Structure 1
């Protein structure tokens, strides 16, 4: 699938970039260096420009293989990276996906995650014709619980398996 840009009102969602016009790598490295971000985003470490480049390349490949729709949440006039939102584990046969979102540490608390995730959900149910979108987070991540509630997810409960850290994962679901 080709990447799609989305007007999310106060922000726009676009593909992550590292080109002569726009370079998201410095903001990615800043975000992934933040201790709170590292606590909740366990699968990636972006310590160098090369690792950030690989991350951007991975996200583009996931779009191309229909595995994941991933957007940079961007400030509309400058294109500055504010966070990332996505629909991963896409299964268009069964109409399911799992949502994910993070916000740059300097931008937390301003409603960016709710706005961006709401736009991604609309895309999932509308353009991709999904039936169900799940959302999971560590039980201690109260900010993610607030985002889930504000985006219309219903709390299902704790996952049977703990996270890689051993902490329980909370599962939420939203249907079309």
Structure 2
């Protein structure tokens, strides 16, 4: 599949880029320099231009083979990268995917992820054979918990010591959202 672009009013979702017109490299380096980002998004480290370029290449390579779909969430007017959404472990034969996401430190608390992740899930459930999306985060990451709740995910349970935070093994909470679940605006 080719990368899918999604317009969400004040935000525009597109593939991560590093070309002669647009480069997400500086913003990715800035985002991953943030201690809070490094604390929770520690499975991939971006610590300079080479690793940022590799990250973009990895994100780009997932689209044609349908094993990873990713979006750079940008301000519609300025084009500034404000967040990222990644669907990985995609299995279209079983209708399964896992989502991870992050926000630029300067844009946290502004509702960027609930708005844009709901738009991505609307596309995923409406245009693909994905039926179930899983969202996992550290038990300490209350911001991620709020995103899960605002996006209509259902808490399924606690996964014991499946990630690390501050060099310590910690539990994760696992949430899921199904294509048949009500859209968050329809929740009471």
Q: TM-score, normalised by structure 2?
A: 0.90
Query: Please, what is the CA RMSD of the aligned residues?
Result: 1.1
Which residue pairs with 1:175 in the alignment?
178
| Partners of 1:88 and 1:97 within 8 A in 2 | yes
Runs of 4+ residues over 2 Å off in structure 1: none
What corresponds to 1:114 in structure 2? Answer: 114
Contact 1:5–1:12 (8 Å) recurs in 2: yes
Q: How big is the shift at 1:129?
A: 2.6
How many angstroms does 1:79 deviate by? 1.3
Deviation at 1:46, TM superposition (A): 1.1
Number of matched residues?
176
C-alpha distance in 1, partners of 2:163/2:86? 20
State how far apart, in whole Å, the 2-side matches of 1:17 and 1:115 are. Answer: 22
- Does the residue aligned with 1:4 lie in a helix, a strand or coil? coil
Q: 1:153, 1:174 within 8 Å by CA — same for their partners in 2?
A: yes
CA contact (8 A) 1:22 1:79 kept: no
Within 5 A, what are the aligned runs for 1:27-42? 27-42=27-42
Give the drift of 1:9.
2.2
Structure 2 contact 10–77 (Cα < 8 Å) conserved: no
CA deviation profile, 1:87-135 (whole Å, cap 9, x unmatched): 1110100001011110001111100111111111112111113111110
- Gaps in structure 1 of 5+ consecutive residues: none
Secondary structure in structure 2 of the residue aligned to 1:163: strand
Q: Which residue of 1 aligns with 2:132?
A: 132
How far apart are residue 148 of structure 1 and its match?
0.3
CA 123–27 in structure 1, closer or farther in 2 if over 3 Å, else same: same
> 1:86, 1:120 within 8 Å by CA — same for their partners in 2?
no
CA contact (8 A) 1:14 1:71 kept: yes
Distance of 2:18 and 2:80 partners within structure 1: 12
